[in-house]
Amino acid sequence: MKSFAFLLFLFPLAVAGQTKSDYEYAMAKFQRFYNAGQGDSISAMFCDQENYVWTNKNNTLRLEEFGTLKSFKFIGIDTTDPNKVWVFKSFFSNGGMKTTSLTLDKNKHLDTFRFITESDGITELLKKDKSK
């Protein structure tokens, strides 16, 4: 009976937390909108509905500079960042490999998103990642 009560207590915590697949889904959605030049759709992915960083014009400028986002791979969580960001190796047609990071809110909307990011924690994650 005690173990049942314990599991019942932990169930809401497990449901509320995000998983690796939630973050990969968010990155795939970003990739689709980014490659299509739909900065306004990226902006709508944020929990803060007044996020105006991503516009169609800014998206076009980034596409011109970095090219399309060809692929991405989750490499870990940067625990040195106060936001505990989830980090991806992102491969762009013009820009090559860059690191992108994000956090999700409890409703799985983008809370933070860093298109190109680096930190000591990310450098360590890259060293641990064996794939090229």
* Number of domains, the chain: 1
Domain-located, residue 41: yes
Domain-located, residue 112: yes
Range scoring the smallest mean pLDDT among 4-13, 42-51, 95-104, 109-118: 4-13
Domain-located, residue 122: yes
Domain-located, residue 5: no
Domain-located, residue 77: yes
> What CATH number does the domain containing 69 carry?
3.10.450.50
Strand pairing category for 85-92 and 69-78: antiparallel
* Of the candidates 114, 95, 93, 116, the residue with the CA atom closest to the CA atom of residue 103: 114
Q: What is the pTM of this model?
A: 0.83
Domain encompassing residue 104: 18-128
Residue 11 reports pLDDT greater than 90: no
Residue 28 reports pLDDT greater than 60: yes
